Structure 1
Amino acid sequence: MWHYSLYIDVLLLFLIGLANLTSVSFKKSNAVTAERMKAFAHLANLVDLDLERCLKIHGGLVHLEGLKKLERLNINCCNCLRDSDISSLSGLTNLRELQMSSCKVTDIGIAHLKGLQNLVNLNLEGCLVTGAALEFISGLTSLLYLNLSRCCLTDDGCDKFTGLVKLKVLNLGFNNVTDSCLVHIKDLINLESLNLDSCKIGDDGLVNLKGLAQLRNLELSDTEVGSIGLRYLSGLRNLENVNLSFTMVTDSGLRKLSGLTSLKSLNLDCRQITDVGLVALASLSGLTHLDLFGARITDAGTSCLRNFKNLRSLELCGGYITDAGVKNIKDLVSLTVLNLSQNSSLTDRALEYVSGLTALVSLNVSNSHVTNAGLQHLKPLKNLRSLSLESCKVTATELKKLHLSSLPNLVNFRPE
């Protein structure tokens, strides 16, 4: 460690002579301290500085005050930083991107950012900020990307979102915001991505999203959304990715999604979903990712999957699939990821059906009746890099043989 610290001292001293340097990264370096950051003060042309996970820089940001050309600063996961540190950034008016997730910064610290009118990307995930900070953030009208996930937000202060009309990406996941917050989101018509993961959002709140015509990505997992609210999504023709896992959506609700022909990714990890719901999605032939982990899909329901010729990723882990169900997906030749774990009735015959899916990169058939004898069917899968057969009648020795003889690209295979 002493030798490494000495190396950093020499390197920082060397930096002093590189006045034209525009980009510097010391990511994950505990050798960078507040005292050693004096060297940065000489880098007047610096545009990009990465100090992510540098845990001893408290008090050192003062040495950045003269770097007027700085556009990108990454201090993610520097949990040593406090509000007083952020005051040193207030004069860096050329900053366009500020990454400061998981810092111990509060509303007081965010107040120092209010003059950074050129900020386009602001990441405050996991910071100790509340709705009071939105008073200052609302003045950053150039923002396109704003991450407030895992902060201390409630509905208080959410009315300040209305001024951020240029926003394209807004992450409010894992906050205590409710339907009342979404009232102030409805006029952000440039939104392309909205994350409400684990928020207290229900059906009534989704009415505020129906005018967001540019929305492509919507994260609603672990919310109180049910089938009734999905009718408000039916007009969002540009939606490409929707996550409805752990919601109260049922089969009847999925019919309201049938018109979303641009949809490419759909996560339906919901116990209420059955074969009936899957039939309702038959028109979504453009899907490339379908997650039915936990859904109660049977062999009969898998016949609907034949319509999804563009699927590249499929998860069917509800426990109701047999070899006959796997036969229905054997012609989905675009698949690169297939997860059939938890289906305990699967046998070696399932691997025989899978053998034609030569584009597969990842295959999971854990908790099944697959045996060593069935491994021969996997030999054509030359692109396979990950293979999981945990809790099967397969030995580590035979898996190793398969790897060495036929599947040289495997880098992850279990049992090990």
Structure 2
Amino acid sequence: MQLDDARALDRNDPFAQTARLFDLPQGVIYLDGNSLGPPPRPALDALARAAQAEWGHDLIASWNSADWMGLPLRTGVRIARLIGVDEASVIAGDSVSVNLFKLAAGLVMGGAKGVAVERGDFPTDGYVMEGLARLSDSTFTYIEPGAGVAGLLGGVDVLVRSAVHYKTAAIVDIGAEEREAARLGKTIIWDLSHAAGLVDLHLERDGAKYAVGCGYKYLNGGPGAPAFIYCHRDVVEEFAQPLSGWMGHASPFAFKDGYKPATGVSRFGAGTPPILSMSALYGALEAFEGVDMGHVEAKARALGDTFLAAIAPLGLETISPPSAQRAGHVSLVHEDGYAIVQAMIAEGVIGDFREPDVMRFGFAPLYLTHAQVFRAGQIMVDIVRSGRYREPRFARRNPVT
């Protein structure tokens, strides 16, 4: 592939209009949307409106006049379409870790005997489950990578699993795993953090009942944006949400002693929602209006292929699967991977690094072109071949890699 070939791929880009919603810095090729998405203009507009007009002018009246109280559910409606579920089954709020705890702890309280995480999956999921095991005296274990729900031991009923692996970008067949879970009488909680807004998800069709996801990666909601939680309508009314805060109460402003859960997914509310960050996420989701998620996923894979073609002369090892099983990022291995990524950032190509030697490059279809991605690959080839990454400044570790 050559640069002209990449430009030819861009001529029929279905997201040319969408890209205009993102005002990225001049000269920057942003390949880290898998970690923190850039702000679409509707997100910044919504944030400014919430801060200046709603909070700044209407003050506390905005809980009613701007429907701040309904914002978590309204945001959930926009997310629901992207993950293929009923719009009344998603609520935004809290963090992925907190929402994982809500679901796993609720299942354990309801009689599930234990929880497992695949070894090598996103570490915080395991950390949260370890804490739950200590708190509840339930079983926690790791199962081997790729074992899936069939790898659960007899005393473990719940598997927390990423739909897309954070390092490799390998996609799990959710439908196949859910069918196996139903056969075995097990339950899966899906972590959609690297899938929502990128993969063409159909959770309800595939039989998924529980999921959480991140608002600041492909959904572009901003640093620390609220997460979301999905619970299928067939199980939600019987679900005892353990973080029984006032925003999950049936009548939060009645101020009565004793907890009565709200109906539906509203019971997964807990504390007061963070209105400014929630407003930014709600606005960011406008970028997906009218977007076909099948086209999003297909372009993400094609962009990854373009990048791999551009860097092919380097012969680097990739730990990501082939295009058909890969989501939105490509991970490459090099012993000096940290320094290479830092050198690329210095030249306007932003990716990231994961210990011990993995360079990750994300391909968000809403704003990236094939020409940009190919050019990023050319810059990487030049940096590695010239040895510029060996400059001492690129070896100095930052707190965030």
State the TM-score bracket (shorter-chain normalisation). under 0.3
Structure (1 or 2) with the larger CA radius of gyration: 1
Indicate the structure with greater helix content: 2
Could you state the TM-score of these two structures normalised by the residue count of structure 2? 0.24
Could you state the TM-score of these two structures normalised by the residue count of structure 1? 0.23
